[in-house]
Chains A and B, each alone.
Chain A
Amino acid sequence: QSALTQPASVSGSPGQSITISCTGTSSDVGGYDYVSWYQHHPGKAPKLMIYDVSKRPSGVSNRFSGSKSGNTASLTISGLQAEDEGAYYCCSYAGISSLVTFGGGTKLTVL
């Protein structure tokens, strides 16, 4: 069982917006502003989409945004495109004992 809880799947139509939640505890998501999000297409290398809760690496579309409230972080994708389909994982720093923990992943389907 993953330390961070994500919905198993979400879906949306092209052009719509979707939000993926990532729920942890005060020992990880709620305790630090060190949340990141990764996009993973099957057979390909995962890609960093968001870090420091809401920062986008160079080259990542501004359709992707991140936020956090309490123990829950969220990834929002606006203007859904077919290429956004894939798995998304949240990740949080979890203190000196556990260091890093991932969510279980969310499969995004673009209808």
Chain B
Amino acid sequence: QVQLVESGGGVVQPGRSLRLSCAASGFTFSRYGMHWVRQAPGKGLEWVADIWYDGSNKYYAESVKGRFTISRDNSKNTVYLQMNSLRAEDMAIYYCARDLGPGNVFYFDYWGQGTLVTVSS
């Protein structure tokens, strides 16, 4: 069955960097777009970034544009989120989610359990 397992979360100081990973299994990873979605404490869901099935297109929420970078390695069935210049408002549970299609459908049909990023000095 489809599984998405995030890792890499933790406590980081403001201004520092962190890289999240999401290992996928149970489906042909290279055929699907992948997203990162986050949920700040006590808040709702917020879409963060998207990468197409082949990595050819990447899109970001305005709140993270220029600071976060999404990438993927189809040989390792893994999607990454490089987060630089972290701010207090980036503190959240970060979920990776599969696109219902190649990356441009923006429906998230499978999600991981999430990894917590805490930004604190």
B47 pairs with A101, CB closer than 8 A: yes
A46 pairs with B45, CB closer than 8 A: yes
A100 pairs with B95, CB closer than 8 A: no
Q: What are the residues of chain B within 8 A of A93 when measuring CB–CB?
A: 106
B44 pairs with A46, CB closer than 8 A: no
Query: What are the nearest 9 A-B pairs in CB distance?
Result: A45-B111, A100-B47, A105-B44, A51-B107, A102-B45, A104-B44, A48-B109, A46-B111, A100-B106
In the assembled complex, how far is the CB of residue B42 from the closest CB belonging to chain A, in whole angstroms?
Answer: 10
- Interface size band for B: 20 to 34
Select which of A43, A45, A89, A98 is within 8 A of B44 by beta carbon: A89
In the assembled complex, how far is the CB of residue B2 from the closest CB belonging to chain A, in whole angstroms?
Answer: 10
What per-residue 1/0 map shows which CB atoms of B77-121 lie under 8 Å from chain A?
Answer: 000000000000000000101001000001111111110000000
In the assembled complex, how far is the CB of residue B69 from the closest CB belonging to chain A, in whole angstroms?
Answer: 17
In the assembled complex, how far is the CB of residue A51 from the closest CB belonging to chain B, in whole angstroms?
Answer: 4
Provided the pairs A89-B44, A99-B47, A101-B47 are in contact, do residues A36 and B113 lie with their beta carbons within 8 angstroms?
Answer: no
In the assembled complex, how far is the CB of residue B27 from the closest CB belonging to chain A, in whole angstroms?
Answer: 14
Q: What are the residues of chain B within 8 A of A52 when measuring CB–CB?
A: 107
Q: For residue A48, which residue of chain B has the nearest CB?
A: B109
Interface centre among B37, B59, B108, B114 (most CB of A within 10 A): B108
Q: What are the residues of chain B within 8 A of A102 when measuring CB–CB?
A: 44-47
Say if the beta carbon of A14 comes within 8 Å of chain B.
no
Select which of B45, B97, B106, B108 is within 8 A of A99 by beta carbon: B106
How many Å lie between the Cα of A74 and that of B59 in the bound state?
28
B109 pairs with A57, CB closer than 8 A: yes
Q: What are the residues of chain A within 8 A of B106 when measuring CB–CB?
A: 34, 36, 91, 93, 99-100
